[in-house]
Amino acid sequence: MSLSPDQMPPAKPKISPEEHRHRAADRLRTIRLRMAIGRELDERGISTPAEIGVALGMPPAEATGLLNRKQWREGDVARLEAAAAHLGVRAPEPANSDWPS
pLDDT tens for 26-37 read 999 999 999 999
Residues 6+ positions from 29 with CB-CB distance below 8 Å: 77, 80, 91, 101
Of 5 and 78, more confident: 78
> CB atoms < 10 A from the CB of 24, how many?
13
Helix (H) / strand (E) element for 96: namely none
User: Would the pLDDT of 22 be above 80?
Assistant: yes
CA distances to 30, 91, 93 from 40, rounded to whole Å, are 15, 11, 17
Q: What is the pTM of this model?
A: 0.75
For the segment 62-70, the average pLDDT, to the nearest whole number, is 89
Distance of CA 59 to the CA centre of its chain: 17
